[in-house]
Amino acid sequence: MTPSPAAAGASADHDARRERWRDSVADARSSAGAPSARYVRNVVRALQGAVPEGRRVLQVQSAAGDVLAALRPSLGVGVETSAALVEEARRRHPGVRFEQGGVDAAPREEFDFIVAADLLPDCYDVDDLLESLKTRAGRSTRLVFVNYSQAWRPILRLVRGLGLGRSRFGDTWFTPEDFRAACARRGIEVIRESPETLVPLAIPVLSTIANRLLARLPLLKLLCLHLVVVARVAGRPVEPPPSVTVVVPARNEAGNVGRILREIPRMGAFTEVIFVEGNSTDDTYERLRGLVAEADDPLVRLIKQPGRGKGDAVRAGFAEARGDLLMILDADLTMPAEMLPRFYEVLASGHCEFANGSRLVYRMDDEAMQFLNLLANRFFAWAFSAVLGQRVKDTLCGTKVLSRRDYEQIVAGRRYFGEFDPFGDFDLLFGAARLGLRIADVPIRYRERTYGETNIRRFAHGWLLFRMLRIGAMKLKFR
């Protein structure tokens, strides 16, 4: 919709006044006084949970560049309407690019993250703002906003009125509901929201406890100054249709593997199948070698697992994969292979970027899961969802699907969590959450095992899950 001349004039006048105001405070900002430096530290800390180091980052309204530089991007580009602030930013941070102007001044290249840390209070029309950000967002770009709590509005007015804080140009305050609704109107999907900064002042010990722990509690999180919102442009299908690699970890599954190639459907541009044999004590390897020889197809391969555990097997298979989408299919076929196209569809359509199987929707076979295992699954799904910031109904389902590109980014950032996961599920889930990928459940029919015994050891593996829950909580939620 083209704005009326009156509306366009009002918007232009607002932008001109904002630019004059930002020029007027450039000298004060460049002096890096204590209040400004403390504010930058708080914003940077809030954003670090959403924007990993070493990524391609565009910041809109980048001011003197301190926030953008502190995020340590591999490529950092800041756009700023104030010429004086652009000059100051270039002086302070020569390794980061700064351009004068609005969003349209940003180069037309794909960024991993577009950050709007100090933009919402100053915007004239939030719909126009969101629409302009979409023009610079690729299919995998995350939009990261810092919104401000209404609870702090009277406090900040009082502080500024007493001359203890710097004035602002804008005074627009969006409730979380208002901002979510604006995103929905413009076809932008909110992935997660994280309350940050309960105590903005630097008070030894207290600030750390309040901002890392108390800020996550149900009532206190409503009092946080910042709300970091991670979003993406919704519904962008993958073009052209992606290819697929199905990785099948197999250990002591000799009685099941004969069915697998018959039951895996063909998907996308091509469907590659990689069997990863995990040092079986039965004749699984010999049977798989015979199946691969009989198939006589370069898209069907067998490799020996170099280490131990399913996580190691999945990594070995993914390292050999040539498909655009990477799928895990357990060799016991308790997750029917014919359901794999459901996972393909949700990624290829752009509905999500990480598809997670859920066994807890449809009725299971009577002996598919023991009652105590079911209770544990439900508990860990709730606990890990709280840590991930996205609802995941069944974190322990073996079938997970993501793009090879996103998996490579998870591998690149693996040192953030460390080598902690023998199952492979949480290495992927934690990495996906760290990247801001949209995670979606795909309900499956869970069948009873027809051959062999489960490799799950209820109590030993339960203890490992608690350990992984602690790691995820400290790295993602209580960082």
> What residues does each domain of the chain span?
5-233, 244-477
Nearest alpha carbon to residue 326 among 375, 279, 286, 268: 268
pLDDT at 462 over 80: no
User: Looking at the domain covering 244-477, what would its CATH class be?
Assistant: alpha beta
pLDDT at 30 over 50: no
Q: How far is CA 336 from CA 180, 247, 446, in A?
A: 37, 14, 7
DSSP states of 148-179? E-GGGHHHHHHHHHTTSS---S------HHHH
Q: Which CATH number fits domain 5-233: 3.10.129.10, 3.40.50.150, 3.30.390.30, 3.30.1360.20?
A: 3.40.50.150
pLDDT, one tens digit per residue, over 62-85 is 999 999 999 999 999 999 989 999
Beta-ladder partners of 229: 145, 193
Taking residue 67's Cβ as centre, other Cβ atoms within 10 Å add up to 24
> What's the confidence (pLDDT) of residue 33?
39
230-255 average pLDDT score: 93
Residue 357 carries which side chain, given as an amino acid letter?
Answer: G
Least confident residue range of 160-174, 285-299, 336-350, 414-428: 160-174
Q: In this structure, are residues 188 and 143 in contact, taking their beta carbons and an 8 Å threshold?
A: yes
pLDDT band at 298 (very low <50, low <70, confident <90, very high): very high
Give percent of the chain above pLDDT 70. Answer: 90
pLDDT, one tens digit per residue, over 88-143 is 999 999 999 999 998 888 888 889 999 999 888 888 899 999 999 999 999 999 99
Nearest alpha carbon to residue 18 among 90, 80, 71: 80
pLDDT at 3 over 60: no
pLDDT band at 32 (very low <50, low <70, confident <90, very high): very low
DSSP states of 420-453? --SSSHHHHHHHHHHHTPPEEEEE-PPPPP-SS-
Q: What is the pTM of this model?
A: 0.88
**Rounded distance between C-alpha atoms, residue 384 and residue 236, angstroms:** 28
Most confident listed range (29-43, 139-153, 337-351, 416-430) = 337-351
